[in-house]
Copies of this chain bind each other. A is one copy, B any other.
Amino acid sequence: MLSFTEENYLKTIYHLSGEGQKAVLTTELAAGLNTRPATVTDMLKKLSAKDLIAYEKYYGVQLTKKGKAEALLIIRKHRLWETFLVEKLGFTWDEVHEVAEQLEHIQSPLLIEKLDAFLGHPKTDPHGHPIPDKTGKLPVMIQTPLAEVDVKGKATISAVRHASAVFLQYLSKIGVYIGATVQVAERNEFDRSVQIVIDGKKKAYLSREASENIMVEK
């Protein structure tokens, strides 16, 4: 069985590698886990011995099939719990991440299957992120950043790229939420900021950076 710490390493490697594509470097991992490179090296040896990662000294690390499956299970639990907190307990989308960081480590296959059923087998979490099914399969999502939507183009907000509390609180304040319809009214070609209309009513201005972190379906 994996320790709390080992699980966090696997999950972070998965995210930093772009869902398991490219290799992750020691320093990136140290930054992502808020720890020191020397500490990371220690743990990489341990995870490598357990066949959860392929580790090449000085050239970074990738998840093995086994490691990826573990990572996806933890992400499944994280996103199911976030969904529970919002849908059933009335948390706001900016309050759930920290609690889910703890709940994702609870060990009970029965619990997670019952929770999934209780929530009606959701496909996405409160941030629009896909929830892996029990075999680790991710629902396919066709999404583009709002930054790439043409002027006058309409789209539906389907996810946020980063789920930091300040960003989410800002989005709530200006009226952006998952499921909202947006139209790009105007794009400033100088700094790529946009003016949008939400649900055909509310107007809001977004910086290029904000619009790159909001994902839409057309």
Main secondary structure, interface of A, reads helix
Cα–Cα, bound, A114→B98 (Å)? 15
Task: Give the distance to chain B from A54, nearest Cβ to Cβ, in Å.
Answer: 31
Find the B residue at minimum CB distance from A107: B102
- Contact residues, A74-106 vs B (CB, 8 A): 85, 88-91, 95, 98-99, 102-103, 106
Q: A95-B110, A110-B95 are in contact. Are A118 and B102 (CB under 8 A)?
A: no
**CB atoms of A89 and B102 under 8 A apart:** no
Residues of B within 8 A of A115 (CB): 89
A: contact size bracket = 10 to 19
* Nearest residue, chain B, Cβ from A91: B114
A111 at the interface (CB under 8 A from B): yes
Closest 8 pairs (CB-CB, A-B):
A89-B114, A99-B108, A102-B106, A99-B111, A89-B118, A90-B114, A103-B106, A88-B118
